[in-house]
Structure 1
Amino acid sequence: MTSHDIQKDIVSACKIETIKAIIEDLNGDYFALLVDESRDVSRKEQMAICLRYVDKRGFVMEAFIGLVHVKDTSALSLKKAIVDVLAHHSLTLSSVRGQCYDGASNMQGELGGLKTLIKQESRSAHSVHCFAHQLQLTLVAVSKKCVQVGELVLLVSNVLNVLGASFKRVDGFRESQKQKLVEALDMGELEMDRGLNQELGLIKAGDTRWGSHYKSFGNFISNFASIVDVLDALVVNASTPDERASASGFLRSCQTFETVFLLHLMTDVLGITYDLNVSLQQKEQDIANAIILVKVFNLLQELNERFNEVISDLLNGVACLNPIDSLSSFDIKKIVRMTELYPDDFDGFSMRALENQLANYIIDVCAIDKRFFNLGGLGELSRKLVETKKHLNYSLVFLLVKFALLLPIATATVERAFSAMKFIKNDLQNRMDDEFLDGCIVPYVEKKVFKDVSNECIIKTFQGMKTRRVQL
């Protein structure tokens, strides 16, 4: 048990059984792909693959199935890696009914991007750009139309670059933080307790990192006194006239009423949309509720400009299936248009059958069966259809509901996997090989699945890997 090779085999057995449980839960049904790339601590490019599917009970599930090291990040190489992973689990691209990526060109490119290559294999694998990223880009684009806000973003970015330009300045910033904290505690302005008064870093905002501007502005306000202290010291101790002039200019700009007012204003505004961003990151969030959430913040027009005609038709069809307000948005024509976007699943005969089912379905769930009254969204509708066995009576309607739920709206599950990757493969364990990293990260991310895997299954898989001298 002290052998590294044996430990790696046991970890691999845990990963295999965890993914096996996920694939069994999928049960050969349709699924959506969520894919993203990130570099690990050793600068290797890693691709995380997640599946989104509707289980037998009608619940929307998102599951992480693996991390793949990719030497070449071209769309063709990424596609091959995805195909290989799916094939290893007896899955194919023909079952893909949704894709979700960030805005990288190798993913979203219309001509040779990953989404286009996958759609060539499955015409119904519609791609949705991560809503959280789109919301962030929309907020940045709209806010920068105001010159003063654009100047604020640039000022904060430049000040943070100056403060982080050397270890000496970072140390000075931290020392000032400690002094301010001690003074506040001595004056009774802060309470001491576990988890309180954590050190706040200087977060740099990024146009594609959701919530980063909110966190950046918030931390800038919280650390304002320490930031001023470092700039003051730099004005006095600058090694060159240019550095002194730059620090002096930033110091004056930071201390104006307009800058302070805009910092608090934008923090309040972005705080509201931050709640929306958090809502969009929920695993079971569906695209219909996401559109309703966005409407509350009057951003729908700006977001609509980022959707092509196909996605717009899909969203219109999904909205018509949403059971909120007793299916008040129900429109057969828009739903039929939605079915035309799934040519591999609906032919002429099934579309006529669907229209008949829809006519009966709308009367049943809106006027007769009280169990369907006051449902909160497509997720609840899916679960209620399975619970009442009506998914068998309205099989084509349920298929459309399932397709609507498969459309992913955020890459949060993938990003959680990358957070786990940085925790598992850190500075002290930066030589961890790819197979061992993948073996560790899958059970770690999918804890709920892994805890239900029996020791007997893991032992059996471990024993079956190779001939062993000892039986566990």
Structure 2
Amino acid sequence: MTDVLENIEEKGIVPEKRVESRVLMDYLYSFEFAFNLYLMKAVLGITNDLSVLLQRKDQDILNAMKQVRVCKVRLQNMRDEGWESLLCEVSTFCNVHGICIPNMNYDFKAQGKSRRKAQQISNEHRFQMEIFKKVIDMQLQEMNSCFTEVNSKLLTCIACLSPNDSFTSFNKDRLMEFARFYPSEFSNVELLTVNNQLKSYIVDMQSDEEFLELKGIDNLAQTSVETKRNSEPIGNKWLNDCMLTFIEKDVFDDASNDAIMQRFHEFKERQRQL
């Protein structure tokens, strides 16, 4: 890239492009550019495993939820304790490549400007507060928005239906907890029935070779429909609703969380009025 920019600067026909190339060259050899690259590498290094896991077709929900927690903790630790080590790493790189390192106690000067229009801030404030912590906070906010405590708990409960490894993830207590998220579907008396149905359900699944060979909740849902198991245990409508999101996941991908919550509140309000 630098060779191309140098060529444009020296031989470019359009004067504006030659000036623009010079500006870009100066930025590529600046401390701020190196700092941003190292920060990006550190953040992506923390979130990469989760990103890869979430893109897999055979998603392991339990492992994904564990990885979410790991990423949150690591990002928070980096925010709280990682500033000095990152600054040291970037400074070492800049020393090796002859890049000027700004004194962190001096006032920050934006490139191409003599003074900031706003109140003067130090280089340390600029790089630590406005870049380092701000980028990490954005990552944490995004993860907290996508994986709230309630969402994470629901996904963890759903994962107990996974048929992988002969239903080793099956956990009756967690599924009972899942059922309690739907008080309109299950009264206290009906929860007692579900408790017994879940015991029968796992015995049924683990005694049928056709189900023991399944991988993923979507395959479980399809096979349950094919064998008409979906019309038998565990509160038919509730189990069907749970599995519907996995069968029709392409449709649900287009539905926003806000739209789903709005529909849910409207449904609850109609129930209350009845």
Which structure has more strand as a fraction of its residues? Answer: 1
Mark the structure with the bigger radius of gyration.
2
Question: TM-score normalised to the size of structure 2?
Answer: 0.48
Structure in which a larger fraction of residues adopt helix: 2
